[in-house]
Amino acid sequence: MEGNQNDLLTILKDNGVNTVRLKLWVDPSDEYAGFNEVKQFSKTLKVNGFKTWLTLHYSDTWADPGHQESPNHWQGINFTQLKDSVYNYTEKIAAELQPDFIQIGNEINSGFLYPYGHISNNFQQFRELLDTAIVAVRTTSSETKIILHFAGIEGSDWFFDQLSIVDYDIIGLSYYPIWHGKSLNNLKAKMQYLGNAHQKKILIAETAYPFTLDWNDWTNNIVGIDDQLILPEFPATPEGQRKFINEIKALTKEVENGIGFCYWGAELIAWKGNESQDASPWENQALFDFDNKALPVLREFKNE
């Protein structure tokens, strides 16, 4: 009913969300995104009927195409020791957390675990590290599906061609119009090509869209001007946000091997108050408005 208060997981479940993606850092400065916190939340998610998708950053903090810093405890060790560390760490996660999906690295366009795993400088070692993590998962769990994640569209052909003999299950792409182009037709064509070329399931691992260009705290937002939108089809309004995700959902269903999408930052409201300068750069792309009310876009998560 309108006006009812509920907790986040209940709202997500009631609106058809079936999987929750969690990031996992090796040795963060506090418990945030660390093993114990993620293990506990994974249990909560499973009790509530969600599947879990763990994104292993193989870093103590955020990893992305521009940042792939090895964990502090793994720096200065030799390559053989690093592979042992990767294997033992990944095996522990697969065994104790038993995720439905496990993502090896986050947006690994340029590799991971620098400097050893840098694609341009050390491609062979990148492959060995990737294979080591994958073997750890396969040895531990026959059920967990393995995702490899590339940010964007451009360059994805080359990337997945290089990994054609790697043992994984699902191709994941990030798609944000601000960074990856404004053509959903290009996105669809690329997904169709990659899924067919590599005979893999494929999904959109990250996407999001604003319901407004306003802000609800004093932290600079990622998206804030019309030039970053797909106009006129998808304005920065609640209805524009809903229509964008409706198109994303339809697109992933139309792609032959498409299996869905994951929304980034659904919960990233202005959580530290409306004058915080170090809180959410994402509150205008969350799934809840500035009064913390569920937005119309949530209806699109039902698998109709």
Is residue 37 annotated as a catalytic residue, yes or no?
Answer: no
Number of Cα atoms under 13 Å in the Cβ half of residue 96: 13
Share of the chain above pLDDT 70, in %: 99
CA-atom Rg of the chain in angstroms? 19
- Looking at the predicted structure, is the pLDDT value of residue 2 above 70? no
Condensed to tens digits (0 to 9), the pLDDT of residues 112-163 reads 999 999 999 999 999 999 999 999 999 999 999 999 999 999 999 999 999 9
Q: What is the mean pLDDT of residues 66-74?
A: 97
Residue 245 CA: distances (Å) to CA of 93, 131, 147, 204, 248: 32, 34, 22, 11, 5
Average pLDDT, the chain: 97
Q: What is the dihedral of CA 120, 126, 128, 130, to 10 degrees?
A: -140
Q: What is the mean pLDDT of residues 188-213?
A: 98
DSSP string covering 146-185: EEEEEESSTTHHHHHHHTTTS--SEEEEE--HHHH-S-HH
> If we measure between CA atoms, which residue out of 211, 213, 208, 214 comes closest to residue 261?
208
- Indicate the pLDDT class of residue 3, thresholds 50, 70 and 90: low
Q: Out of 107, 247, 283, 300, which one is annotated catalytic? A: 107
Q: What is the mean pLDDT of residues 3-30?
A: 94
Tokens of 192: 């169709």
Share of the chain above pLDDT 90, in %: 98
Q: What is the mean pLDDT of residues 24-53?
A: 97
Is residue 107 annotated as a catalytic residue, yes or no?
Answer: yes
Cβ contacts of 290 within 8 Å, gap of 6 or more: 212, 214, 216, 269, 270, 283
User: How many secondary structure helices (H) and strands (E) does the chain include?
Assistant: 8, 7
Residue type, 275: E
Looking at residue 1, its pLDDT comes to 39
List the chain domain ranges. Answer: 8-210+237-265
Q: What is the mean pLDDT of residues 189-203?
A: 98
Residue type, 243: K
Give the span between the Cα atoms of 51 and 17, in whole angstroms.
10
pTM of the model: 0.97
8-210+237-265 CATH pick, 3.40.50.2300, 3.20.20.80, 1.10.150.170, 1.10.1200.10: 3.20.20.80
Give the span between the Cα atoms of 54 and 271, in whole angstroms.
23
- Indicate the pLDDT class of residue 192, thresholds 50, 70 and 90: very high
- Indicate the pLDDT class of residue 4, thresholds 50, 70 and 90: confident
**Bridge-based pairing state of the strands 145-151 and 201-207:** unpaired
